[in-house]
Structure 1
Amino acid sequence: MLEYLIEKDKQLLCYLNGMGTPAADSFWLFITHPLASVPLYLCLLYFCFKYFHWKQVVLILVFIALIITTTDQLANAFKYGFQRFRPCHDETLINEMRMVICGGKYGFFSAHAANTMVIAVFFSLLLKKYIRYIVPLLLLWSVIVSYSRIYLGVHFPGDILVGLAIGALLASLFYRLFLFTEKKLKLPTKEEA
């Protein structure tokens, strides 16, 4: 069964990666670059200051640092634990796919997918009562960045799906821990200030 899933994962990668064109490559290279998301991060920071007391914002930033560190370290543990080659390092695919860029040797699971989903879910939970369409917008952003990794041939679709799932799970757990910590610290809200 596992071999069947791996083979289907490879086929789906080749199909999705094969839909790319040299003209679109620069767009997807931009989307996958971490600096491309800086404007979004600045907007999220602005919304935090707009809707939360500055002490709450400090706690939010501490939690974001913790959650990104946790996600990155977990992704590294999985990559070196499972040692699944990235598509660009898989000799069975070298002649089957478009090589746009190549990353490190191992790719299971995608840290890009996990980190974008962690940000999307955590901030969705924080801001959904203040900003009407924040949830679908952040989830769409995460999916687009994650898809860029398939387009570029650095991750299999399965790497992406597992990364998205782990990111959503970690964000939910850390959000609950954030609420617990905020309550224990008795931080003032913006309305109380």
Structure 2
Amino acid sequence: MEHLLTWDLRLFFKINGQWINGFLDFLLPWMREPYLWAPLYLFLAVFITYNYKWRGFFWMAFFIVTFALTDQCSMFIKDAVDRLRPCRDPLISQYVRVLVVYCPSSGSFTSSHAANHFGLAMFSFLTLRSQIGKWAWLFFLWAAVIGYSQIYVGVHYPLDILGGALLGILAGTLSGGFFQRRIRLELEQTT
């Protein structure tokens, strides 16, 4: 475990302190902001409603449930693990580049941003790939950029992102799988 945490700290400082440039310093703090992604959420709502009419309501409901599930599970794990964020750790905080207005006081493991976005990416991938084909993989790129941003701005370690991503993928697989097996098939049979 000690080797894993040492690797985590070293990778954190590579991303947060060495693999940096002015463009990423400007861009990545914005990439983690929820309102920046509002157009994507709006596009998905319009796309689903246009293509599925009233059935799109069920998809949007599961999308929201997936978000809530990942968020609550991540908060539970954060409280249980109680890992300090790099920007709050008194042993290293003076060496951390914090590129956001504030450093959250909640725990670091797991990243809720990573859990939420990877959960939504997995749910969207499973439920939309038959409609959008290979473009469905872009949902994971979107989630990965947000996860990387969390490390870059100094509020999470790489293992926090990995843990959040795995939690999100699990939740997205469960909700997406349930939607595909139960709701979507029942809706198709009733039309």
| Cα contact 1:122–1:171 (8 A) shared by 2 | yes
- Alpha carbons of structure 1 residues 148 and 110: separation in structure 2 relative to 1, 3 Å: same
**Counterpart in the other structure of 2:72:** 73
> Greater helix percent: which structure?
2
| Cα contact 1:150–1:157 (8 A) shared by 2 | yes
Residue 79 of structure 1 deviates from its aligned partner by 0.7
Displaced runs of 4+ in structure 1, greater than 6 A? none
Q: What does the per-residue CA deviation read over 1:70-123, in whole Å, with 9 as the maximum and x for residues that have no partner?
A: 111111111110000011011221233212231224110001011111111111
The reply on whether 1:31 has 2:31 as its aligned counterpart is: yes
Residue 173 of structure 1 deviates from its aligned partner by 0.6
User: Unaligned 5+ residue runs, structure 1?
Assistant: none
| Distance (Å, rounded) in 1 between the aligned partners of 2:50 and 2:134 | 17
TM-score (norm 2): 0.90
* Count of matched residue pairs: 188
Q: What does the per-residue CA deviation read over 1:16-73, in whole Å, with 9 as the maximum and x for residues that have no partner?
A: 001234553231111110011111111212221233241x211112212211111111
The reply on whether 1:3 has 2:9 as its aligned counterpart is: no
Residue 143 of structure 1 deviates from its aligned partner by 0.4
The one-letter code of the counterpart of 2:136 is V
TM-score (norm 1): 0.89
- Alpha carbons of structure 1 residues 23 and 139: separation in structure 2 relative to 1, 3 Å: closer
User: Unaligned 5+ residue runs, structure 2?
Assistant: none
Within a 5 Å distance, the mapping from 1:65-104 to structure 2 comes to: 65-101=64-100, 102-104=103-105
| Distance (Å, rounded) in 1 between the aligned partners of 2:113 and 2:47 | 23
Q: What does the per-residue CA deviation read over 1:153-181, in whole Å, with 9 as the maximum and x for residues that have no partner?
A: 10000000111111111111111222343
| Distance (Å, rounded) in 2 between the aligned partners of 1:90 and 1:134 | 40
- Greater Cα shift, 165-174 or 98-107: 98-107
**Counterpart in the other structure of 1:159:** 160
| Percent sequence identity over aligned pairs | 31
| Distance (Å, rounded) in 1 between the aligned partners of 2:169 and 2:32 | 19
| Cα contact 1:89–1:105 (8 A) shared by 2 | no
- Greater Cα shift, 147-156 or 134-143: 134-143
Within a 5 Å distance, the mapping from 1:114-193 to structure 2 comes to: 114-182=115-183, 186-188=186-188, 192=191
| Distance (Å, rounded) in 2 between the aligned partners of 1:70 and 1:165 | 13
- Alpha carbons of structure 1 residues 183 and 41: separation in structure 2 relative to 1, 3 Å: closer
Residue aligned with 2:36, SS: helix
